[in-house]
């Protein structure tokens, strides 16, 4: 006879205490703090991942890469995110029609550096992250010895002097492509071994080669403007 009251008292306890700890109880939604790693990751996943993925995925410079954050400075990354870059990097600043405020962009860059920067404050690695004007004539020689074996017109890795390609990439973009490379796609960074340059290129050689490649670009106001913006 005691079983039934026991059962009901169990049920009562279950109802008053247990039920409110069931898995179905909605968790109190705490807004993700701007600048937190969760916020940074989700912002990246929504807005950047499509092009700037990690490893071999994605077609643009991978941002999840300690090598990138070693060279890149916060100021330059903020500049590119805020105002876009070349033809294909959109501007994300609100006043440019983008989704983020200046504070959010600054917090985002800081967050990315703490997530993927491996403690580097940026601006290291022996080369600037902003394109520097070089000597095109000198660049022609550098290209012929270091780059042409793969990147000449018809080369195995594809031409970088294709005017259509150059219309889509700014000098800053060329600079970044040479400086950072794509390790996962076997494209060397600027200071890694290249044909006839076992220790890679010097910063001057990078600047020269960018200037030489850029000469093949059909004149386009947009690119000039972007190149000057970057400076």
Part in contact with other proteins (CB under 8 A); list of ranges 49-57, 102-110, 120-128, 204-212: 49-57
Place of tokens 């973009």: 173
- Smallest separation (angstroms) from other proteins to the CB of 199: 13
Place of tokens 């386009």: 220
- Smallest separation (angstroms) from other proteins to the CB of 216: 12
Q: For the purposes of burial, counting CB atoms within 10 Å of the CB of 11, is it exposed (0-12), middle (13-18) or buried (19 or more)? A: exposed
> Is 82 a residue that touches other proteins (CB under 8 A)?
no
**Contact between residue 209 and residue 156 where contact means Cβ atoms under 8 Å apart:** no
Residue of 59, 66, 102, 118 interacting with other proteins (CB under 8 A): 59
Tell me, letter by letter, the H, E, C secondary structure of 68-80: HHHHCCHHHHHHH
- Smallest separation (angstroms) from other proteins to the CB of 123: 26
Closer of 73 and 131 to other proteins (Cβ): 131
Structural tokens at position 6: 């026991």
What gap in Å lies between CA 127 and CA 129, rounded to an integer? 7
> Is 31 a residue that touches other proteins (CB under 8 A)?
no
**Contact between residue 209 and residue 134 where contact means Cβ atoms under 8 Å apart:** yes
Part in contact with other proteins (CB under 8 A); list of ranges 21-29, 69-77, 118-126, 131-139: 21-29
> Is 47 a residue that touches other proteins (CB under 8 A)?
yes
> Is 67 a residue that touches other proteins (CB under 8 A)?
no
């Amino acid at each position: 006879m005691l079983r039934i009251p026991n059962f009901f008292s169990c049920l009562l306890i279950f109802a008053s205490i247990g039920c409110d700890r069931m898995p179905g109880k909605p968790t109190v939604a705490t807004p993700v703090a701007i600048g937190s790693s969760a916020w940074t990751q989700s912002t990246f996943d929504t807005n950047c991942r499509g092009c700037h993925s990690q490893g071999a995925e994605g077609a643009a410079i991978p941002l999840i890469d300690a090598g990138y954050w070693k060279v890149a400075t916060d100021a330059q990354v903020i500049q590119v995110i805020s105002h876009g870059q070349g033809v294909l990097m959109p501007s994300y600043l609100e006043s440019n029609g983008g989704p983020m405020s200046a504070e959010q962009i600054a917090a985002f860059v800081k967050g990315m550096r703490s997530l993927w920067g491996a403690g580097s404050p940026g601006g290291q690695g022996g080369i600037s992250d902003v394109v520097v004007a070089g000597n095109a004539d000198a660049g022609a020689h550098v290209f012929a010895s270091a780059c042409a074996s793969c990147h000449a017109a018809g080369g195995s890795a594809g031409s970088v002097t294709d005017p259509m390609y150059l219309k889509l990439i700014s000098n800053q973009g060329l600079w970044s492509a040479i400086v950072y490379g794509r390790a996962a796609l076997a494209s060397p960074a600027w200071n890694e071994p290249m044909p006839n340059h076992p220790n890679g290129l010097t910063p001057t050689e990078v600047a020269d080669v960018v200037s030489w490649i850029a000469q093949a670009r059909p004149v386009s106001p947009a690119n000039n403007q972007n190149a000057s913006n970057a400076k």
